[in-house]
Structure 1
């Protein structure tokens, strides 16, 4: 029958899983109303992505406070191959007049014909939408409804900053559904292939879905409490991280649980032992990723700084769900959830020569040779980064060609020596006249018009002679800023925003990268009680990042046809690959440390760790790479480039660096890999493990 301790143990086995399940139901009920509001606070205006301290950000903020709020600027482009007819010009004038009658415009639009006579553009602006994105989109769509093709051979396109913003917002708003469904489908297929069970794959997938729902509620809370920026890019990446990282943790836990079910009779007890064995690695892994992502708070770029907390929220929600809800559900379902490959008590897995055993054997024979070849290969791939082109222009940031992009391309061809995208100068009203004179005297400026005033500020519109985002226009922007800086004026507008994005990303790389490396190193040192092993892992992930970026440089232009590179690609891919890549190193090195504490020498421990964790790491890497690869199917160049580099980097890390190179380095270094910790002592010296590690070793 057993005494009170036995009865208490039986009670815990029954009560605890059901209690955890009940708590999760309560948590979801509380998070539900907030999760549903996340889309309402998601914004994709330029000011939500701009650097916090840049001129262009100040311009956007002051414009919001001017009478009428932010100005929505459009350009109507009328074009006919071979030249516009008198009837075409009359039709264009009638459509523009109708826009003026039906919509509230700022000023009276005037047509500007091209020298070739085949294009006529009308700049159109309105303050009516203000800073409300829905009103802006409605205004743009109303203009498009009125300015439509007549079917007589003349094309009509609506471009300009407002139209580009509307098309970009439409793309980001359309991501949520397809991104989630595609991610779920990809993860489901991979889990079915990995587990070869008709039921087991559903458990981690459903738990990941629960974690994603919770993360949406927490993200909304962050926005309301701290004003965290929520953009389409950051919320999409958060979903990717929840499913990718969460599934990785599930794979590790389930693999260890299956292993313990062969040794332990009751599922509850087997899960306890499994969590004791792999829990520290999962905690350290998620902690490393979260710490790395939170380093983005040091970035000056709004979009990067907002992505840090959201990414960390996604990872931590996945961690909590996988350490509590997943074990509870698995214990309640019992061994039958593994059907048809049920791990019976006392059984042994079929002995077979695994790929990772073979890789370990080859690394064992010539560790230095493997290291040398791997280093040369990664170095050669990294050289491809030299082929990365300059910053992608706004009109080239879509993988398709929306109306706004078509309009900008038509303008670029028809007005090659004329600015078609005005700059905005915000000057103190008391010095506005002086600012106008300074702007007119600036080299490269074609026209200057004084605009609205309010709150002590005046808006001035400046048209450059050079084409948008060209080297000549950039020189004009810099000259304007040099001349107006002493007057307390700011220079903004779409081209200035892109210049600020590029410059701020360069600044953020110098600040954030060292912080990320330091944070990750500290976590690894605390976990592995060593300095050499953490440094080895960091060097490995940095090498992976360089190689993945190099592969991107070889395919983005020649294969994908992209006209530029997202300025934030290097920083974001570095943060994600370093933080996520160290995950697998933690899984491998933590198991190796367990084996050494159990009495094995470092050489045997390295091979055992590779053999026992190689399959799990490979499965986890495939899932994580596949989830980020989902981004390559999205219609924005920035998302495609980010998803591609991270997916390729994860695959390199999983199948080359983590398995071959880290194992080879461990074999070559021997006990030195644990220096200066106690495990680095010569084999003859006793190495008593700390009490908690001794318990883990005995129970594993």
Structure 2
């Protein structure tokens, strides 16, 4: 009997067509990959801030001053035996200071480094430091090269028994860049290994797992290459963080879509002898759910382009482009690859016409039967469990100081800790005050009166603008340092005519946190609205989308609560990083709703034949195995972020890992079916679902 399916996505009808499509695909992708992508640099933090922020204004004014294009690196000296520095130690350090300056100046591209004053020695003589001006032009990559050269030189010139640690803003920039040097390759390899292992376990085939892995892997590389070419033309600055997370997104979401398509194709091969017809039905029935899911994720990520932070915009661009390409590859390239391979690609579990399903659905049939008998208890109990888990996050803290960014302890953190034990904690990272030159005296006097400011000294100046460097008592990036910056800004705002702006790395961190918070309040409602509209369009219902969105929201807060317990008692993290909760929300709502889309779109199809309750149970039996596999795979892929020694990425990975597992194993498997059975046809309101006689398929 001819199929009545609407085939809105083209699929090959013969082996020759499949091979021809694959050849065209190889040519097109090869052409894209043949162009060398622009190199990705780590933009400075201040470049990503809104131009209305004081930090950005101060940076622009500072860049116009003579000798302004530099940052102080602090070289901290201590004896390895923790004794006081001797007179000979001090003399040797002073004698070899010129070599330290040359190490920075001679590093390509050559620059003019200089010492900022004499050697500072603590009252106990146990700690001493030089402040060395490290030129920041032309990029953060050059800053990192200069700091690396300085560290190498220190190993050669230090007197016996003395050790040195380079800290300060240039050193933190260097240690942060190390996290992303080769990080994308590390992430990619780890992700590929995780996906390959889980695909082998899922399909129990020595061949089949290679097909989706290769297709999604090529999609990932193509999207990365395309993003690198397009970003500069759109005014977007990609960085290691945005491209790394985008890779994880493409691999996770792309493999999920592939699992769904292959599962439906395998089912159809049990009903049809013609594999091409089976694929057309599989693509037709899967395509709507994949497009709805991918559209939700793409638009949600695209909304990040409205953010004020450039790093957020970069992630939105790279992620949205990657999801679009992943969808295209899964719905167009994967079917052609599977058809070219024939049924034998499923060996040794080759699906035969008329064959009953393996053990697919038995476990979920038992789960469904239990849910059907106790739908009210299960619905209420599931919601209560999620609410209880959410309360675990009531004491959650947000904000990591500069020394708390890393899971390991880099040299810059060690140096800052030693420096803070003997000098004001802010010595390594002074606040930068830009003021009108004719108001320097008034600005200087006002700044020195601010609590938490230990000293203020004059810096470079020109006839119009002058720089003042304020040393803070608090550790850089701590809440106390932020309070001091606020107090400085408040005090200087009352100096009439000075037009003072407070910048520096501590102020940049404060302004970034506030910009991120503002972006959250703007983007969260928009993302929820987009998800709601996509669900309404897919399900033709109002009740079902509201309930699905509510369950995903509950699972997010539950994941946040459970993750906070893990961070406190397992990882011993002091707080969430700025923006961590928002990124967790973004990925969980956009990706977590996928599984509800996959389930309810199949339930909508089955409801026409069986009614709401039996249709939902049939959908659970049909999709349970593949959605569970997809959820475990996606959760595992995000957990890979934990291999990078940066606390914020580890936190995002854990939150998404926990949330996706909750969505997969509790929300989609138990809570949503219970709600649908409990409400009956009201679940689909205002649509009317009139079922025909039950049909076995």
Q: What is the TM-score normalised by the length of structure 2?
A: 0.92
Equivalent residue for 2:308? Answer: 300
> How far is 1:345 from its partner?
2.2
> How far is 1:10 from its partner?
12
Distance 1:20 1:11, change over 3 A: closer
Q: Answer whether contact 1:77 1:122 (CA < 8 A) is retained.
A: yes
Q: Within the alignment, does 1:576 sit opposite 2:587 as a pair?
A: yes
For 2:255 and 2:443, how far apart are their aligned partners in 1? 57
> How far is 1:566 from its partner?
0.5
Equivalent residue for 1:634? Answer: 644
Counterparts in 2 of 1:258-337, with a 5 A limit? 258-337=266-345
Q: Within the alignment, does 1:514 sit opposite 2:521 as a pair?
A: no
Q: Which moved more, 1:482-491 or 1:199-208?
A: 482-491
Equivalent residue for 1:133? Answer: 140
Q: Answer whether contact 1:430 1:456 (CA < 8 A) is retained.
A: yes
Q: Which moved more, 1:548-557 or 1:466-475?
A: 466-475
Q: Which moved more, 1:384-393 or 1:260-269?
A: 384-393
| Aligned counterpart in structure 2 of residue 245 of structure 1, from 250, 253, 258 | 253
For 1:605 and 1:375, how far apart are their aligned partners in 2? 22
Q: Within the alignment, does 1:349 sit opposite 2:366 as a pair?
A: no
Equivalent residue for 2:547? Answer: 536
Equivalent residue for 2:56? Answer: 57
> How far is 1:428 from its partner?
4.5
| Aligned counterpart in structure 2 of residue 504 of structure 1, from 510, 515, 524 | 515
Counterparts in 2 of 1:544-559, with a 5 A limit? 544-559=555-570
Equivalent residue for 2:95? Answer: 94
CA offsets, 1:296-340, max 9 Å, x none? 223222222221111111111111110111001101111011111
Equivalent residue for 2:6? Answer: none
For 2:592 and 2:34, how far apart are their aligned partners in 1? 35
Counterparts in 2 of 1:94-493, with a 5 A limit? 94-101=95-102, 103=105, 104-106=112-114, 108-127=116-135, 129-148=136-155, 150=158, 152-350=160-358, 354-415=362-423, 419-429=427-437, 431-432=439-440, 434-453=442-461, 457-485=465-493, 487-493=498-504
> How far is 1:676 from its partner?
1.2
Which runs of 5 or more residues in structure 2 are unaligned? Answer: 1-9, 106-111
SS of 1:557's partner is helix
Residue correspondences, number: 674
Distance 1:276 1:37, change over 3 A: same
SS of 2:146's partner is helix
Distance 1:449 1:551, change over 3 A: same
Q: Answer whether contact 2:49 2:512 (CA < 8 A) is retained.
A: yes
SS of 2:73's partner is strand
> How far is 1:473 from its partner?
2.8
Q: Answer whether contact 1:261 1:267 (CA < 8 A) is retained.
A: yes
For 1:218 and 1:455, how far apart are their aligned partners in 2? 47
Equivalent residue for 2:624? Answer: 614
Which runs of 5 or more residues in structure 1 are unaligned? Answer: 1-8, 688-696
For 1:626 and 1:48, how far apart are their aligned partners in 2? 33
Equivalent residue for 1:6? Answer: none
For 1:151 and 1:387, how far apart are their aligned partners in 2? 49
SS of 2:569's partner is coil
Distance 1:52 1:331, change over 3 A: farther
Equivalent residue for 2:606? Answer: 595
For 1:69 and 1:418, how far apart are their aligned partners in 2? 20
Q: Within the alignment, does 1:76 sit opposite 2:75 as a pair?
A: yes
For 1:225 and 1:593, how far apart are their aligned partners in 2? 43
SS of 1:447's partner is strand
Equivalent residue for 2:29? Answer: 28
SS of 2:358's partner is coil
Distance 1:678 1:137, change over 3 A: same
Q: Which moved more, 1:456-465 or 1:613-622?
A: 456-465
Q: Answer whether contact 1:95 1:146 (CA < 8 A) is retained.
A: no
Q: Answer whether contact 2:167 2:428 (CA < 8 A) is retained.
A: no
For 1:417 and 1:196, how far apart are their aligned partners in 2? 57
Distance 1:463 1:21, change over 3 A: same
Distance 1:337 1:560, change over 3 A: same
> How far is 1:429 from its partner?
4.9
CA offsets, 1:329-361, max 9 Å, x none? 101111011111111123222367622111111
> How far is 1:254 from its partner?
0.3
Distance 1:240 1:86, change over 3 A: same
For 1:458 and 1:298, how far apart are their aligned partners in 2? 35
CA offsets, 1:403-451, max 9 Å, x none? 1111011112223566432011233456555544443343433332333
For 1:454 and 1:253, how far apart are their aligned partners in 2? 66
CA offsets, 1:542-578, max 9 Å, x none? 1111011111210112211223321111111001100
> How far is 1:64 from its partner?
4.7
For 2:416 and 2:359, how far apart are their aligned partners in 1? 63
Equivalent residue for 1:691? Answer: none
| Aligned counterpart in structure 1 of residue 664 of structure 2, from 650, 654, 659 | 654
Distance 1:262 1:49, change over 3 A: same
Q: Answer whether contact 1:109 1:123 (CA < 8 A) is retained.
A: yes
For 2:126 and 2:364, how far apart are their aligned partners in 1? 65
SS of 1:619's partner is helix
Q: Answer whether contact 1:73 1:124 (CA < 8 A) is retained.
A: yes
For 1:524 and 1:638, how far apart are their aligned partners in 2? 31
RMSD (CA atoms)? 2.5
SS of 2:155's partner is coil
Equivalent residue for 2:7? Answer: none
For 1:327 and 1:547, how far apart are their aligned partners in 2? 37
CA offsets, 1:3-59, max 9 Å, x none? xxxxxx99942453234213322321232144x425x13424223554554222333
Distance 1:614 1:48, change over 3 A: farther
Q: Answer whether contact 2:92 2:159 (CA < 8 A) is retained.
A: no
Distance 1:483 1:256, change over 3 A: same
